[in-house]
Every structure is written in structure tokens, then in C-alpha cells.
Amino acid sequence: MWGNRKKPIQTAQIDSLIGQNTEIHGDIVFSGGLHVDGTVKGCVLAEKDKESVLTLSERGTIEGEVKVPNVVINGTIVGDVYATGHVELAAHARVDGNVYYSLIEMAMGAEVNGNLVHQPDEKVVSLNKEKDTSLVAGDS
């Protein structure tokens, strides 16, 4: 019964770090692990890599769309979140937008001001750099 659980997200590996006194204006494309303590005003996109993880700390803020395989949120996101793998909303998480997910964990205290939309793996938006008008596969 317990052996069927998916492997938890490994948050220990950080390939890129945005410090708490840093503010970035523009889109970020990354692979591996990205940890955000500062502010990003733009979209955050992961390369086509099922292992990439975005970690947003309690002090971190993202103002823009997030398209990643796995995300751990404990800060604020103003924009939609698309995750093909795992979404973890920690106690101080605040999302002002819709969350499209395949698997989600939500701690007491987390806040989503938008819709939680479950999408099977093949239905979640593809993770690429192109900004297309159809954000979720199957929508017209």
C-alpha cells in the first residue's frame, strides 16, 4: 500500500539561486534545480527535463507564468502555474492564478486564489519556451 507512492521531490540540489535581495525583470529558462529567494518579474520555464525543480522560498515572489515539471511553493506567485509532475504548496504559499497539476500536495495555510485544475500527464501543457495562446492541451 505505501510502496506505491511516487518518489518525493529532491529539493537539496540547487543549480541556480536567485538571492533575496535580487530582482530579475524578464523570463528565466532553467534546467536542474532553481531556488528563488528574491523577486522575478517574468515567466519561469524549465527546459524539457522531467527532473527539474523550482523552489520558491517564503521570501520569494514570481510575477508571471510558471511552467515547470516540479515545483515547491512557499512564497507568492502572481500568475498561472503549470506542472507536469508534482506541485507542493507549503504553509506560506500564495498563488494568485490557476494551478494546473498532475499531482499536488497542499499544507494547511496555503492559499490559491484561482482554480486547481487536475490534468493527466498527457494533458498538462508542454514545457517549452514558445509562448502560445493555447496554454493547456485540449482547450480551444
Which tens digit of pLDDT belongs to each residue from 15-30? Answer: 899 999 999 999 999 9
Which of the four pLDDT bands, split at 50, 70 and 90, describes residue 13? confident
The answer as to whether 130 is a domain residue is: no
Domain span holding position 82: 10-118
Residue 11 has pLDDT above 90, yes or no: no
The number of distinct structural domains making up the chain is: 1
What is the value of pTM for the model shown? 0.80
Taking the C-alpha atoms of residue 100 and residue 16, their distance in angstroms, rounded to an integer, is 24
CA of residue 36 relative to chain centroid, distance = 11
Is the residue at 33 inside a domain? yes
Residue 44 covered by a domain: yes
Write out pLDDT tens, residues 91-119: 999 999 999 999 999 999 999 999 999 99
